[in-house]
Structure 1
């Protein structure tokens, strides 16, 4: 406790301010964030203090005195109780302390090479099929034609859902994810979300019942197998985890893929470099997620009066760890605004979070993105953006809402040769 702290209150310390609208995109705030960052590691934004420096973002994400507020996305809609709130508060994201540690330990045992080994073939098949559909046209919208339909088949293959049911999962995920988007000016239909979630739960119940008699090599089977000191996951936890994986592994990947393709398109030399050097794929993923991330903020709240970074944060203070600003901290990254997929020996990006809630599926997401970017740059040697690509608010899962491109396909290049 810091009841007798002499540190200045964070709201009264004359820190720089960030004045942006709730609909502002990362591109709208980058210059103001950089200017504030040059003056102090913390700024006061429209929702509260924002941590801007790389080192302090890393520190606050590991500090147990700041917690991810349960159901924060729903609270922004004025929903602080009820069945949907309970679902969110009891998810892996909503839990903290011993219950969270227990679930993380069990789940980490399920992310085995056996559970993910067959994904590479699925990933390549999915992205090649999506390119096949648009190749002859020589143009497409990356968001709707490539990025949006890409992750669901991969997540379904990971979980072991049959191909004929992939569209069901896509529909459920689309609906449920509305409850996870932290944008106070966006409304959603709570009843529709709960209907979709109940249908997903019922489907998972059937999958679990089938697996208990015939365990296979998919992630759901590994979750059923997972055991730690005699402890196992019960049916409610299995339901919750499947929904969580679908949410975390679908919208994040589709938005980041579109964002990554955009920044590569806008830097033709980097597109060409990846095409010629596919071994740079993982570095390309890290650099696109550093420079143009689909996740820009990590909300936290002080669980008590906390002295942090030389300032006093009163109990209950809502804080944003601005990972977007941290990823472009000039103290950490040389020429931080430069986009270069061949960067070496750089610190880990903050886009996947940190501390107890570090993204469990980070390695899987990297794998999905790397494979997709390798296939895209190989099959589309030249790609150019042909129209506006507006982004969503940085306060939710962001990324372009549309990304029109025209391209020269590998097939056409070969024919010309």
Structure 2
């Protein structure tokens, strides 16, 4: 059937011009202006989908897929052992292999499986706060957010406490392969060495559990079966690495971003401290208003008519969830930060379609419990220095967030 829609590049759509180091706040006014004129704009790297409805739709459209190895390609690497390892992981697979792996994993990665972590989450966040309480000040990024998620992921998969630092070190090194922005410390051999050590450790964990399954995610993955199929050792290795990568940096950055926006709205900080039942709503609202993941890349795998325009095969397209989550057609007074919002559609920050975040339940639980404990134990927080953000094009969030606070001694005693 012939395509009659105009080519997206020739349709006189609004343009958004920003530097590749621009932060979400840097581009907000331009996004709002473009969004008021059209649901799609041409950005510095390609078309950007700005409306909630179209962004939601493109994330579910199989004609637009996550390009394999896109983060390494951004750093000039398109082949080799690291590229091969990344593109065959759950994050890089597409089609039938991806569906099979995801089906098996989803049987293990359930709200029930993550709810067992509540005690660990409470212990970790309270211990981090204990360390800074006496000083009455801290850097939320380095003192709270950065060390927070790794122990929880380790507890989830069943790694013993004495090895949590090992996992933190491996994650720090391997994550460089998942970063859009070139890293001056990028060393392919060092990344492969760290990944090899992680794989060897997971092999030992799997061997120990084959005949003695326990109550952790790795055991659940070994048990998982779908249509007579089970996960093999290579897949188990890849999944553990994937959980560490997907579950660590995202949570670190979003926790810092969520704390910042709550600090900037003292009434909302106090409200959450007094009404902990709003924890999940506070997570969703802070991820809507100040997300750590703002732009989701896709590539057209064929000539595709979408939103009234032709996207030629190979076109890079970006679902701008930052703009979509502030679409005034969907959210009343979209720029207002209000943790008591109700009856709103789901945020797009966790993606959508085949690559919807498998760990969304865990991430929301981790963030909600951390925010509830922080707002209960620390009162009247104030930012006391700059809090610059990373580029909107990768995982963003504040690089530093110095705050002072008053300590609620009663809440601390009951923590």
1:118, distance to aligned residue in structure 2 (A): 2.5
Among candidates 383, 386, 390, match of residue 384 of structure 2: 386
Give the conservation status (yes or no) of the 8 Å contact 1:330–1:336: yes
1:46, distance to aligned residue in structure 2 (A): 0.7
**Aligned: 1:312 with 2:310:** yes
**Aligned: 1:139 with 2:131:** no
1:213, distance to aligned residue in structure 2 (A): 1.7
In structure 2, how many angstroms separate the alpha carbons of the residues matched to 1:211 and 1:414? 38
Among candidates 48, 63, 66, match of residue 64 of structure 2: 66
In structure 2, how many angstroms separate the alpha carbons of the residues matched to 1:413 and 1:379? 5
Please give the residue correspondences for 1:152-191 in structure 2 after superposition, counting only pairs within 5 Å. Answer: 152-183=150-181, 188-191=186-189
What does residue 323 of structure 1 align with?
321
**Aligned: 1:130 with 2:128:** yes
Unaligned runs of 5+ in 1: none
In structure 2, how many angstroms separate the alpha carbons of the residues matched to 1:206 and 1:212? 10
What does residue 107 of structure 1 align with?
105
Distance change >3 Å, CA 401–CA 326, structure 1 → 2? same
TM-score scaled by length of structure 1: 0.97
1:34, distance to aligned residue in structure 2 (A): 0.6
Give the conservation status (yes or no) of the 8 Å contact 2:5–2:305: yes
What does residue 212 of structure 1 align with?
210
What does residue 31 of structure 1 align with?
29
1:235, distance to aligned residue in structure 2 (A): 0.3
1:353, distance to aligned residue in structure 2 (A): 0.1
In structure 1, how many angstroms separate the alpha carbons of the residues matched to 2:412 and 2:247? 36
1:414, distance to aligned residue in structure 2 (A): 9.4
What does residue 347 of structure 1 align with?
345
- Secondary structure of 2:34's match? helix
In structure 1, how many angstroms separate the alpha carbons of the residues matched to 2:40 and 2:410? 51
1:185, distance to aligned residue in structure 2 (A): 7.6
Give the conservation status (yes or no) of the 8 Å contact 2:111–2:361: no
In structure 2, how many angstroms separate the alpha carbons of the residues matched to 1:191 and 1:43? 39
In structure 1, how many angstroms separate the alpha carbons of the residues matched to 2:197 and 2:347? 36
Distance change >3 Å, CA 186–CA 306, structure 1 → 2? farther
What does residue 18 of structure 2 align with?
20
In structure 1, how many angstroms separate the alpha carbons of the residues matched to 2:269 and 2:113? 32
Give the conservation status (yes or no) of the 8 Å contact 2:296–2:351: yes
* Number of residue equivalences: 413
Among candidates 261, 267, 270, match of residue 269 of structure 1: 267
- Secondary structure of 1:388's match? coil
Give the conservation status (yes or no) of the 8 Å contact 1:22–1:184: no
What does residue 192 of structure 2 align with?
194
Q: Deviation digits for residues 102-153 of structure 1, max 9, x if unmatched?
A: 0110000012455323200000000000000000000000000000000000
RMSD over aligned CA atoms reads 1.4
What does residue 373 of structure 2 align with?
375
In structure 2, how many angstroms separate the alpha carbons of the residues matched to 1:96 and 1:383? 45
1:187, distance to aligned residue in structure 2 (A): 6.7
Give the conservation status (yes or no) of the 8 Å contact 2:376–2:411: no
Please give the residue correspondences for 1:261-300 in structure 2 after superposition, counting only pairs within 5 Å. Answer: 261-300=259-298
Among candidates 237, 243, 261, match of residue 245 of structure 1: 243
What does residue 331 of structure 2 align with?
333
1:189, distance to aligned residue in structure 2 (A): 1.4
Among candidates 82, 87, 90, match of residue 88 of structure 2: 90
Among candidates 48, 51, 54, match of residue 53 of structure 1: 51
Give the conservation status (yes or no) of the 8 Å contact 1:284–1:341: yes
Higher deviation after alignment, 182-191 or 245-254 = 182-191
What does residue 115 of structure 2 align with?
117
- Secondary structure of 2:381's match? strand
- Secondary structure of 1:381's match? strand
Unaligned runs of 5+ in 2: none
Structure 1 stretches of 4+ moved >4 Å? 184-187, 412-415
